[in-house]
Amino acid sequence: MSLISSIRTIATWEIKRSMTTMGRGILPIAVGLLLLLVLVTAFAAESGLHLQDGMYRIGVDDPGTASIVASDTRFATYQDDAASLWENRFSYDIVIINGEVYAADTDKGRAALNTLERDYESYVASVAAAEPDLFAAYPLWIDLQYVKSEIDFLATQSGQQVGAPVETRRPPSPSLPVEEVTPPSQGRLTTEEELREHLVEAGDGQPLKRYTSLISGESATDRLLTPSELSLPLPFDTIILVFVFIFPLYFTSQFFMMSVMNERVGRAGEALLSTPLRPVAIVVGKALPYFTIMILIAAAITLLARAPLTILLPLVPVILFFLANALIIGMTSRSFKELSFVSIFFSTVATSYLFFPTVFANTHVISIVSPLTLVVIAIQGDGFTAMEYIYSTALFFATSIILFYLGIANFREEHLFSEIRLISRVVDFISTGISRNHPHFSLFLLAAFMIPFVFMAEMLTLVLFFNIPMPLSLLLLTITAAVIEEFAKSIGLYAIVRDRPGFLTPGNLLVGATVTGLGFLVGEKLLLFATLAQITESIFGSILFLSLQALWMPLLLHIAGVLITGGFLLLGGRRAYAPGIVAAGMVHSLYNLYFIGGMLL
Amino acid sequence: MKRRHIYLIAKKEIAGLSSEKTIVFAILLQVFIAMFSSFLMVGLTAMYDPEAIEGYSTVTYRVGYAGAESPLIDEFGERDDLILYRMDLGAALAALRERMVSAVVYVPQTPPDAEGPITVTLYLIQNDLQSGVVNVKIKEVLQGYEEQLRETRADRLIYSPVELNFPDSGGGESFFEFVYGLLIPLLVFLPAIVSAALIIDLITEEYQRQTLETLLSTPIMFTEVIWGKIAACEVLVPVQAGAWLILLWLNGIPVDNATAILLHVSTSGLVLILLGALVALHYRERTSAQFIFSTALVVALLFVMAVPYNPLNLVVRLAVDSIGPIHWYVLALVAAATALLGWAITHYARRVGEKTP
């Protein structure tokens, strides 16, 4: 009970304090800026964004042709007579004479030609939409229906190609009983007026319309489409939508980070630490107001967007993850600029981890590594299962809890007020986790606790390399995954060597490597079976998590990796750490490549 | 103000940056952004040109066909990457659910020259990358069919659009607009934004750590301290932006008018840095200053982008070499604004400096 009351005390104190430091005329200016933002957004919507204006130079001999590209600001249009156009054709990217299009034979010329073709298509479409007989201009309409596959994710796992063609002459016969299906009715699903309106809208290309319709739940499959409108779901819809949710959360976590930092700057926190309050009460109490504010902001956006409130569920682990990282960054940075750079770097990495998978929200199973995919799915009205929730959030919960624990364990005077380098401080944090009396048991636990971070880093590389052409992406994944794992495994050993150089004897190294390898394997198995079964089924997954095959081989590999790095440390001292990781990473990669080779051939 | 004092402060700040290795994070950050741009590239290609994603697949897909006979069957016959099976609709959908076929098409009994539209139903698997690829392939088939139908019904059309004859393009140039129209301005302006955030930290830190008094007890004046910090931040802008241009060039992305681009970036960067310095001098506390500055930055960037001939657009045009001398006028305008801001900063810093003991 006393813990709860002290958390409450700290929380109220935190709110009061942040109100006073932020007081100095921040609020009116913030409100003013917000109003300004609304005005500027309206202005930008009115005038359009002029980023790519005049990229291409186009010469035309006829005002009718000029009108085709008139609305596309990417073209700087010059009108001239045919003869002089031809004479100066090299100063243009595209020249149109008598309806013949000539493009410069450069990358730019070809890009301009592509753009022109698209403009021409939409011009033709806009002319056709005005036809009195709409169904002569648009005779074919597509009714797009999505079918949920019974074996949903599990079959598309190979990432790029699916279904080896078996029998090509006879139609495939399904194994499950076939249900009688009534053919779709041919009564007009939509009236002619609506279709015409739809065409005008599509030609208009109002980008905002897409987002509003996505939120209001009006799905594209309700309407008929022309064949040219059939296309992949655009990735940017979901990205922008999700950005609305993430940006305020990221911003609020910055305040928490700064509040932690402020405890250290000017040693304001010293008084706090001298009170009988326990570090856990201080950290949780400080974090609580920010957590609450973030949840409230997310809920407010959800309500405003009239989206289902279930999207708050996947946001909770994201918020915790942001706060946990803010705590660690605030505790470890030496100066403001370090804080800025590290936090910007962290947020870029975290944002890309969260966002990029959602680009594939409707296309690929990889997308599930990001909780934000669940947000997108929920907004689209599909909902997500409890299993999917665990799949995509477990890593976030696990890493947040470990980071919070690390932060609380180190929330002590000697760690908060010393001016040491960021990396040394992080190593310090880790070495507090290594018990002096039971170093081997600590190494075992440390290796196991590293697993969520390793998986997260590997997921990030997966996300980054996912769309590089196949053999290369697999190779890159193999190598980076190996280096990440070797780094994570050896960090505990490194921390010990730094504190107690005498610890590292050949015997201790052997035992240390064995327990680390074992801990790694145990952590891997626990988390893998619990969460990532889906992704491990894919070819990308099988490369990251090769170790599922047999138990003794990965165990030996893990131990060997630590032994190599440890050997380098033993012989060359701490300077040899980086070469040691490279060497261990190489061995690890070769092992993995050998198995992929065996698997693919 | 003595130039030597400014130089001393600038040197101190840059030395601090490199000793703290924060600059390493700054570089890592930018490399990371460049790295995921390759990821965005595919996303954007899909947006500009969904057909491009087709290139990722070399497999033959099976498609179920149900309903009435139609010329659509012949259109499918012309493709060698799609195999069509005549099936009963129920069986076809069951096969689709088990992924034995990749798509199902249902064609109604409407004759080609009918009064109304022909509504073809296309069934695809939800949540699937393969569906995307099949979708694109079938789209081409359907467009061919649409073309046929349009010809059948041509006598019912009255308008005739301007005819253009396009040469056979090599195709697949979707990266150009992304790289030159988005990536390059982003990469070269990123150092400017980073530097502006940096000046806030440099100034507020002196206040919050109470190190300013020590610094001012030396013969260095407050305005010189501020300008030294500004100089340190400003120097980083062209260096980093220039490094980007070289890296791009090494990657086979030639950028025209590099000098002019660096001039534009440095000048606009200085505007941002001066604004940051102003905000930092006013608030003297990092949280407030960074909050106000980053909000203001969003407003300012959005506004600038909405104005024709903005510096970002000029960088794009310079990079592809499709601009005349007009960008020099804009540069002069921005430089004038910078000078004005610089004067304001000096004035403000002097006033603040006099108040500070």
> Who among A33, A137, A183 is closest to B89 (CB)?
A183
Pick A292 or B216 by higher pLDDT: A292
> Who among B25, B153, B194 is closest to A139 (CB)?
B153
- B338 pLDDT tier (thresholds 50, 70, 90): very high
Q: How far apart are CA A556 and CA B99, in angstroms?
A: 39
pLDDT single digits (tens) B261-290: 999 999 999 999 999 999 999 888 888 888
* Lowest model confidence (mean pLDDT) among A298-312, A315-329, B64-78, B167-181: B167-181
Q: Is the pLDDT of residue B235 over 80?
A: yes
CA of B223 to nearest chain A CA: how many angstroms apart? Answer: 21
Q: Please give the full DSSP string across A264-313, using - where no structure is assigned.
A: HGGGTHHHHHHSS--HHHHHHHHHHHHHHHHHHHHHHHHHHHT--GGGHH
CB within 8 Å: A43 and B303? yes
Cα A527 → chain centroid: 20
Structure tokens belonging to residue B327: 């960008």
Q: Please give the full DSSP string across A391-432, using - where no structure is assigned.
A: HHHHHHHHHHHHHHHHHHHT-SHHHHS----HHHHHHHHHHH
Q: Hey, which residues 62-81 in chain B have their CB within 8 Å of chain A?
A: 62, 64, 66-67
CA of A512 to nearest chain B CA: how many angstroms apart? Answer: 32
Q: How far apart are CA A526 and CA A517, in angstroms?
A: 14
Q: How many CB atoms lie within 10 A of CB B340?
A: 12
pLDDT single digits (tens) B30-71: 777 766 666 556 555 554 444 555 555 556 788 888 888 888
Contact B46, B52 (CB under 8 A): yes
pLDDT single digits (tens) B162-211: 778 888 765 555 678 778 888 889 889 988 998 998 899 899 888 887 77
> For position A106, what pLDDT does the model report?
84
- Residues of B whose CB is below 8 A from A107: 173, 176
CB within 8 Å: A349 and B115? no
Q: Hey, which residues 489-518 in chain A have their CB within 8 Å of chain B?
A: none
> For position B41, what pLDDT does the model report?
60
Q: Is the pLDDT of residue A458 over 60?
A: yes
> For position A360, what pLDDT does the model report?
64
Contact A109, A89 (CB under 8 A): no
pTM, full prediction: 0.76
What distances in angstroms separate CA B166 from CA A110, A267, A434, B142, B336, one per listed residue?
11, 71, 70, 22, 46
Cα A267 → chain centroid: 36
- Residues of A whose CB is below 8 A from B291: 22, 26, 30, 251, 254-255
pLDDT single digits (tens) A238-268: 566 677 788 888 888 888 898 888 888 766 6
Contact A210, A218 (CB under 8 A): no
Backbone angles phi, psi at B125, to 5 degrees: -85, 135
CB within 8 Å: B313 and A34? no
- State the DSSP code for B180: I
Q: How far apart are CA A312 and CA B92, in angstroms?
A: 39
A119 contacts chain B (CB < 8 A): no
Pick B291 or A502 by higher pLDDT: B291
pLDDT single digits (tens) A480-535: 888 998 898 888 888 888 877 777 788 888 888 888 888 888 887 777 665 555 55
CA of B35 to nearest chain A CA: how many angstroms apart? Answer: 8
> For position B19, what pLDDT does the model report?
73
Q: How many CB atoms lie within 10 A of CB A174?
A: 21
CB within 8 Å: B60 and A179? no
The helix/strand/coil state of A59 is: strand
CB within 8 Å: A52 and B94? no
CA nearest neighbour of A115 among B140, B319, B176, B56:
B176
Q: Which secondary-structure segment (H or E) carries A100?
A: strand A100-103
Q: Please give the full DSSP string across B300-317, using - where no structure is assigned.
A: HHHHHHTSTT-HHHHHHH
CB within 8 Å: B99 and A334? no
CA nearest neighbour of B107 among B62, B70, B134:
B70
Strand order in the sheet with A94-97: A75-79, A56-60, A94-97, A100-103
Backbone angles phi, psi at A227, to 5 degrees: -55, -35
Contact B173, A107 (CB under 8 A): yes
- A419 pLDDT tier (thresholds 50, 70, 90): low
A348 contacts chain B (CB < 8 A): yes
Q: Which of A127, A167, A178, A254 to mutate to test the interface with B (most CBs of B within 10 A)?
A: A178
What distances in angstroms separate CA A476 from CA A472, A481, A483, A561, one per listed residue?
6, 8, 11, 19
B258 contacts chain A (CB < 8 A): no
* Lowest model confidence (mean pLDDT) among A40-49, A261-270, A303-312: A261-270
Q: Is the pLDDT of residue A149 over 70?
A: no
CA of A464 to nearest chain B CA: how many angstroms apart? Answer: 6
Strand order in the sheet with A224-225: A224-225, A140-147, B118-125, B103-107, B61-67, B82-86
Q: How far apart are CA B135 and CA A43, in angstroms?
A: 38
B96: exposed, middle or buried (Cβ count in 10 Å: 0-12, 13-18, 19+): buried
Range ranked top by mean pLDDT from A206-210, A270-274, B119-123: B119-123
Contact A348, A444 (CB under 8 A): no
> For position B270, what pLDDT does the model report?
95
| Complex prediction ipTM | 0.78
CB within 8 Å: B165 and A100? yes
Q: How far apart are CA A5 and CA A8, in angstroms?
A: 5
Q: Which of B85, B126, B198 to mutate to test the interface with A (most CBs of A within 10 A)?
A: B126
- Give me chain B's average pLDDT, please: 82
Q: Which of B105, B164, B273 to mutate to test the interface with A (most CBs of A within 10 A)?
A: B164
Backbone angles phi, psi at B195, to 5 degrees: -65, -35
